A and B are shown apart, each in its own frame.
Chain A
Amino acid sequence: MKDFGEEKARSRNGGRLASCMGGVFLFLATLVVCNYLLDLFGPSLHPPAFAQKLKHIEESEVAYDVVFIGSSYVYRQLNPDVFDEEMAKQGYDLRSYNMGFPGLVFHEMDQLLDDLLAIDSNQLRWILVDAANMDVNRKRQNRLTSRAIWGATPGHTWSYCRGILASSDPWPQKLGILLNQTVSACARSLHIGTGQGLINQTMSSGEMGGALDSTEVLQRGFFSLDQSRDKNDLIQIRRRNAFLRAASKWPRRVERFRQQAPDSTELSKEYLRAAYSHQVQKIHNHGVAAIYVLSPCLHPHFRIEDLAKEGVIPKLFAYNLPEDFPELYAANMRSNFNHLTEEGADLYTRQVARDFSAYLKEIQ
């Protein structure tokens, strides 16, 4: 009697297990379908500032010929007004726009390029790409920001992860970064938190994920590190003060870098080659020419320079050597260790414009 009861209970448990598995399948299928539909018909996942700049390009009456894209090296240092003015002096009537965002890492840039090139109305002919920031999103606190989520498409996450694996970081750090990317990718696939802005507009957005509140900045896309402009930017003030305290040591630092550059922190050359050739091809496929720029800062970029020599990177403007551009490395032109002041940015932009016009003359 007891055996019969146990057998019955076992068979009942078996039935429940089968029903449970079916339930789990339906549950997951519902989640996938809902998220897929939201992907198709839902609002864009762009961080507000990114969306604003893309929209500006899409709706602007000005047909931009040149766009600068990259991290703060672009956002803080390439002034479109100065560039256009200098190009006009050189005999070229061009309109440029700054699509830079602080901390923009390579894969974010790659996706931003996708969105930029997908704009039907644009008449872009050249894109000046910041070649310096081949970084990966490393910080744990960033993994659920709108920027991280926006950039975490399956394709880009896979690309990120390959980049991380190709890096020379220690394994515990690599695993931490891989976990961050996975969390961001899950958040994007499941649209985690994308509806929270409905009640309040304070979605955690990370640096520059929030909206641009200045029309002037939006018109040019450029925002210099002149202290008089933004007294509330405490991070920049802190960086500036740190630089001012150590300003006397700056020339020595430049000299040391000139004599012996530190080891490169770049990713493996094979990975860089694959990533850049993919990016260059993508830009070319849209009938646009890609020009890469190494901005004036004390970071070695041997591999990028090698890739330029190999022809993977079609054209490289390198300003990362103090001996070639001493005026850009003068302490009075620096806002902090990595960025130029507005005056420095002006000087730098004119230099880029002159090199660009020389390049145009060369190809003509």
Chain B
Amino acid sequence: MLFTQPIFLIYFALVFCLHWTIQRNSARKVMLLAASYVFYAGWDWRFLILIAASTIIDFAVGLILRAPRPVLNRKVWLVLSLSANLGILGVFKYFNFFVESAHGLLTAVGVTLEARMFGIVLPVGISFFTFQSMSYTIDVYRGRIKPVRSFTDFALFVAFFPQLVAGPIVRAATFLPQLAIRRRLSDVMFKGPIALFLTGFIKKVCIADNLAPVVDSVFADPGAFDVVSIWIAVLFYAAQIYCDFSGYTDMAIAVARLLGYELCLNFSFPYFASNIQEFWRRWHISLSTWLRDYLYISLGGNRGSKLFAMRNLMLTMLLGGFWHGASWNFVVWGGLHGFALVVHRIYQETVGGNRYVAGLMKMFGIVLTFYWVCLTWIFFRATNFADAYTCLKAFVIFQSPGQATLGPELLWWLPPMILAHWIMYRRPIEERVEQVPNWACAIGYGLATFFALLFLRFGYSQFIYFQF
């Protein structure tokens, strides 16, 4: 069930009515939990076993960690919880990748073995809910939060359907307190969430889904296309992945708000970032802060020498890339971002303080950062290194063996997209609509829906981040 499918609207209308009809908070939470499991079972009911396992383990470990006298050392319980979560992730997401890589390595050194792969189906959203669940255990271990006593609350925190399959990765410290208080319908502001949902819908079905065929056609065989076409494909992919993922997040936040809950911000106009560090403060914020708090800091963070901090940065980004998918392409993508972050840190510590250099960076920073981000998207999107290399050559040194062309007129789609993005950057849509009278808002929603349906692309396509 996708947010963009009519079936979701029916499902949500039902959940919304039930949620606000039920008066008791505990009953509401049980209903929301059941609804979340139904939502997840829509993909495959067997996936529920995984989410239930992760939930039960972390709930139990959370309670044990704060018990006055735990049976074993607290660290042992933490390791147990992390191993279970990472084990689930390792088996379902990375097993075949490890086997394949090991087989490739052994073959390279002359050892011939038969690689046995398993037909493992990647459960949708597995990386999101395991990270969310793990963050709870780590926070309890670090003493930042108290363990939750209600299993329903914890299960709902892990499985809350708006953010279950593609984030944002919500922290227990921000979400669990919301569950403790009964939400009131009168506190819900409708105009903002509806506008946000429509914005997300338009981003996904009108922009991302319409750009996808253009991008797919080029990345299917980049060697056949000329330089301009590859540039168009890369720029379109940058727009596609942003609209796809941030569109999903907008809809998730809006749906949660309509139920009275607040999810964290996940995107803040990342393509207007003037440096790579700022980009990561604006792109997939819930993941980047997760990596910072639970990986970078655990690795030692900024403590120790500069070289040590840079190593931590690089490792964090490599693992962050690996989190996205079981492929070396994602590792390279993460590595390129890590490299850029290291370069940026060196720049900050050396010439960053210089007034002229800072002025220059202010002028060209956004373009440079965007160019670098687009360059890294090539590895993210390409299916293999050979294709990535072809695209990279066209994108960096303007060389391509291909003759096929998409037609440069497609580039005319970029200015309106940039303009719309900039208008929203000036002031978010959900803030704007709160100032608008109700009647104007209703007409605006009608117009937005009209255009959304007009450009809707047939055949519902999955959100890109569902595969992670």
What is the interface of chain A, defined by CB distance below 8 A to chain B?
A: 9, 12-13, 16, 19-20, 22-31, 34-35, 38, 144-145, 190-196, 198-200, 202-204
Contacts and interface: CB of A to CB of B under 8 A. Distances in A.
29 contacts: A12-B186, A13-B186, A20-B190, A22-B442, A23-B438, A23-B439, A23-B441, A23-B445, A26-B439, A27-B445, A28-B446, A30-B442, A30-B450, A31-B449, A34-B447, A38-B454, A145-B458, A190-B450, A190-B453, A192-B453, A193-B454, A193-B455, A193-B457, A195-B454, A196-B210, A196-B458, A199-B211, A199-B214, A199-B413
Given A192-B454, A196-B457, A22 B446 contact: no
Contacts of B185: 13
Contacts of A23: 438-439, 441-442, 445
Interface of B: 185-186, 190, 210-211, 213-214, 410, 413, 438-439, 441-443, 445-447, 449-451, 453-459
A204 B459 contact: yes
Contact of B453 (A9, A30, A191): A191
Residue from B186, B438, B456 with most neighbouring chain A CB atoms (10 Å): B456
Q: Specify the main secondary structure of chain A where it touches its partner.
A: helix
Nearest to B440: A26
Given A12-B186, A191-B453, A200-B213, A144 B458 contact: yes
Nearest to A183: B6
Contacts of B457: 193, 196
Contacts of B210: 196, 199-200
A34 B448 CA distance: 11
B213 A22 contact: no
A204 B185 CA distance: 42
Contacts of A16: 186
A26 B186 CA distance: 22
B186 A9 contact: yes
B72 to A, nearest CB: 50
Contacts of A191: 450, 453-454
Contacts of A19: 438
Contacts of A28: 446
A194 B410 CA distance: 18
A284 B459 CA distance: 41
Given A9-B186, A12-B186, A30 B447 contact: yes
A-B residue pairs, 3 tightest by C-beta: A30-B446, A26-B442, A23-B442
Given A196-B455, A203-B458, A31 B446 contact: yes
Nearest to B457: A196
Contacts of B454: 38, 191-195
Contact of B446 (A9, A34, A145, A203): A34
Contacts of B441: 23
Contacts of A192: 453-454, 456
Contacts of B410: 199
A10 to B, nearest CB: 10
Nearest to A141: B459
Given A26-B439, A196-B210, 14 more contacts: A13-B185, A22-B438, A22-B439, A25-B442, A26-B443, A27-B443, A28-B446, A30-B450, A31-B446, A34-B446, A192-B453, A193-B457, A199-B413, A200-B214
A24 B190 CA distance: 13
A204 B211 CA distance: 15
A198 B214 CA distance: 12
Contacts of A144: 458-459
A202 B215 CA distance: 13
Contacts of A26: 439, 442-443, 446
Contacts of A194: 454
B458 A193 contact: yes
Contacts of B438: 19, 22-23
Contacts of A145: 458
A30 B186 CA distance: 27
A30 B443 CA distance: 6
A203 B213 CA distance: 11
A362 B231 CA distance: 69
A36 B3 CA distance: 27
Contacts of B451: 195
A264 to B, nearest CB: 35
Given A9-B186, A22-B442, A27 B455 contact: no
B444 to A, nearest CB: 8
A27 B186 contact: no
B232 to A, nearest CB: 11
A52 B438 CA distance: 46
A34 B455 CA distance: 14
Nearest to B450: A34
Contact of B449 (A22, A27, A195): A27
B405 to A, nearest CB: 14
B446 A29 contact: yes
Contacts of B456: 192-193, 196
Nearest to A202: B213
Residue from B439, B441, B453 with most neighbouring chain A CB atoms (10 Å): B453
Contacts of B190: 20
Given A30-B442, A199-B211, A35 B455 contact: no
Contacts of A196: 210, 455-458
A328 to B, nearest CB: 40
A204 B449 contact: no
B415 to A, nearest CB: 14
Nearest to A200: B213
A9 B187 CA distance: 11
Contacts of B186: 9, 12-13, 16
Nearest to A28: B446
A194 B447 CA distance: 16
A202 B454 CA distance: 15
Nearest to A196: B457
A193 B210 CA distance: 10
A30 B444 CA distance: 8
B439 to A, nearest CB: 6
B244 to A, nearest CB: 15
Contacts of A204: 458-459
A198 B413 CA distance: 10
A27 B442 contact: yes
A143 B215 CA distance: 26
Nearest to A149: B458
Nearest to A19: B438
Contacts of B443: 26-27, 30
A244 to B, nearest CB: 34
Contact of A27 (B214, B446, B459): B446
Contacts of B455: 193, 195-196, 198
